[in-house]
Amino acid sequence: MDFALTEEQLVLRQRVRDFAEAELSPGADRRDSTGEFPREAMEKIGKLGWMGLIFPPEYGGSGSDFLSYTLVVEELSRIDASAAITLLAHNLCASHIFAFGSEEQKRQFLSPLARGEALGAWALTEPGAGSDAAALQAEALPADGGWRMTGNKYLITNGSRAEILVVMASTDPSRRARGICAFIVAGDSPGLRRGKNIDKLGFRASDTAALLLKDVFVPADRLLGEAGSGFSQTMQVLDAGRLGLAAMAVGIARGCLEGSLAYARKRQAFGRPIGDFQAIRGMLADMATEIDAARLLLRRAVYLRDTGEPYTREASMAKLFASETAMRAATRAVQIHGGAGYTRAYPAERYFREAKLCEIGEGTSEIQRMVIARELLKTAKEGV
């Protein structure tokens, strides 16, 4: 869908597409098999300015809009979603600092993130706190000149590699959500231990680790925003994060469709290409239609964000539909490939494993439905 894009955005999309095919595609399957982090590719992405695309030039960014960012994510995900999710996690960290950090915090921490000189991570999830984010157990207790943080974080993307982290912890567990604060934590902080890359179903080349914090000192000037505002900050950051994940889901779904189209043209059965058969054509048509619908939902939510309008409901709708579209597209892609789709001979099985995370990360499909219904009921009550 090109009609809503500017010439500059079209050029950007083509640049990212060319980069992904040249730099990511050749080793994507190998990295998935070995768990090798795409370090060189991510360094190049940083030098190209895509790590800080949405941040103002005064902080080292490119000053682009969020639509341009989703174009980058979609094109990377079409080839290698592990690279895309690395970018998404980095931007959760950077966006949190940009939205709620002081001027000094932005200069000191956002700038190297936006320039691609440092990798960021965003640490919310814990072994016992996923969908129920307010149940986190990590604590930050007052100490001379700051806080002492203790707790465990789990499934943190970029966790073992990030130089700058935003970590959520409670300064008053009795207040649950109202006691949560967000802190900037340096990756080399004494007392911070990082686990190895977790062996996952998909996204095996992305860095996902547990963090163990034991008496980590956090200086007073590393608190983001007001004390006790960390949970509300987190919800706002997640709204934008869901748009990034929706773009990733659309990219994965596109990879499924394009691979299936190529296979349907060349694979012969009963003396004909399988693309001639109605059953295959029906699956291809459904994939293409749902992908376009998912992208349109995403574009609507992105438009609202870029114009400063509320977009919580629309972000959840886009994330919900795009993630489930990716899963359906991956299932159909494996089916179209038949037995070959169940092997590593084609990317279909990798897309299948990656698509599942889209229904879990940044709030599960069940959480998205709760958010959508809550927003609907809120507007109904207000008579809107």
| Domains by residue range for the chain, with CATH | 7-115 (1.10.540.10), 120-228 (2.40.110.10), 231-380 (1.20.140.10)
**Residue in 298, 302, 351 with CA at minimum distance from that of residue 326:** 351
**Long-range pairs for 297-303 at CB < 8 Å and ≥24 separation?**
297/246, 297/321, 297/322, 298/70, 298/243, 298/246, 298/247, 298/250, 298/322, 299/1, 299/4, 299/67, 301/243, 301/246, 302/66, 302/67, 302/70, 302/243, 303/67
- The rounded distance, in Å, linking the Cα atoms of 57 and 311 is 25
What pLDDT does residue 1 have?
52
**Sign of the CA dihedral with 101 first, then 107, 112, and 116 last:** positive
Q: Is the pLDDT of residue 112 over 90?
A: yes
Q: Is the pLDDT of residue 383 over 90?
A: no
Segment 271-299 mean pLDDT = 98
**E strand or H helix that includes residue 351:** helix 348-358
What pLDDT does residue 380 have?
87
pTM: 0.97
Q: Could you please report the per-residue DSSP string of 256-294?
A: HHHHHHHHHHH-EETTEEGGGSHHHHHHHHHHHHHHHHH
Catalytically active residues are 362
- The rounded distance, in Å, linking the Cα atoms of 193 and 379 is 45
- The rounded distance, in Å, linking the Cα atoms of 10 and 75 is 12
Tell me the average pLDDT of the chain: 97
Find all residues with CB under 8 Å of 61, minimum gap 6, and list them. 49, 52, 53, 54, 55, 114
- The rounded distance, in Å, linking the Cα atoms of 315 and 53 is 20
Segment 69-91 mean pLDDT = 98
Burial class of residue 145 (count of CB atoms within 10 Å of its CB; 0-12, 13-18, 19+): exposed
Rounded to the nearest angstrom, the gap between the alpha carbon of residue 143 and the centroid of all alpha carbons in its chain is 34
- The rounded distance, in Å, linking the Cα atoms of 382 and 31 is 51
Q: Is the pLDDT of residue 254 over 80?
A: yes
Q: If pLDDT is split at 50, 70 and 90, which confidence band does 114 have?
A: very high
What pLDDT does residue 382 have?
72
What pLDDT does residue 384 have?
60
**pLDDT per residue as tens digits for the range 130-173:** 999 999 999 999 999 999 999 999 999 999 999 999 999 999 99
**pLDDT per residue as tens digits for the range 286-320:** 999 999 999 999 999 999 999 999 999 999 999 99
- The rounded distance, in Å, linking the Cα atoms of 71 and 251 is 9
Q: Is the pLDDT of residue 4 over 90?
A: no
Tell me which residue has tokens 């465990």: 152
**Sign of the CA dihedral with 25 first, then 27, 30, and 34 last:** negative
Segment 338-366 mean pLDDT = 97
Token pair for residue 352? Answer: 């299948």
**pLDDT per residue as tens digits for the range 23-56:** 999 999 999 999 999 999 999 999 999 999 999 9
What pLDDT does residue 274 have?
98
